[in-house]
Structure 1
Amino acid sequence: MMNTWTTLLLAVSLVLSRQTAAQPAVNQLGLELLQGEFAVCALEKSTKIPDWALTTTPVSITRSQAALSIIAPNNIVPQGINCDRGWRNFEVGFNPPSVFGVVAAFARPLARKHISIHWISSSPTDYLMVKQANLETAIRVLSAEGHPIRR
């Protein structure tokens, strides 16, 4: 006859194994490196969304109480716009909303190597950005974690 602790441990193990089995392996989500460099731009919060930001994809546009942020390919952003240029963009493989731990699966190994990221969540996919200067190191780190990367 099992004691109460053994029964409790078996029940917890069963619950955890079911959660793990239902959760896809986030450390195997693929990445596709997009062509060209991207700029992370900060405009005045009241700025009308500029036409140049609507001419291509992917582009991320977010208006907050502090600023209008636009992330777009470098080549479409006019000179004189307040931007941090030189970011490379990866499209993250299929990422259903029910999957948890996706950002952490990429951010943790990169943080251990002191690589800053920008993360953009959208539907149906997400984007991970690293500076061009850190690109090759990021690819090595993420590949070692099991993430397939297409260039």
Structure 2
Amino acid sequence: MKIGELAKATQTQTETIRYYEREGLLPAAPRTDSNYRRYGPGHVERLALIRRCRSLDMSLDEVRELLRIRDDPDAGCGEVNDLLDEHIEHVSVRLKELKALRGELQALRARCTNPQSAKACGILEGLRQGDGAAPHASGNHLSHTHSRGTIRSRGPG
């Protein structure tokens, strides 16, 4: 199948498929005489696995590691368990951060209960002063690092 057919079969944008190929997550497809990529069932299965991992907010490095283990039939699954345990911990940390962020936003929202002019807006004043919405020590509300040191990014897919 051509890249458009793979995209349709997996509900993945063609740019994302090419990106996964460049990142080494999806093996390069052989080319036809007219230079079209030709994908097979293995590509569909692998792309479905990648997309499922990404839907679970796994980083590309985590996906890469899972694929490496999957591609070695004699590998033990202890590494998979370890990787998932780390990811679960990361999600737990993010949940705490999101709850704190919600509290900060609610405190800001409570500063302005009736619509009025912008110059009298308690929310804008709170943002200016930093009241009720102090950033975390990292300087932002959500951590963007993972316990393996990987920058967490949604990126394509």
TM score, norm. by length of structure 2: 0.22
- The structure, 1 or 2, with the larger RCO (C-alpha pairs under 8 Å, 6+ apart) is 1
Q: Which structure carries more strand by proportion?
A: 1
Larger radius of gyration: 2
Q: Which structure carries more helix by proportion?
A: 2
TM score, norm. by length of structure 1: 0.23
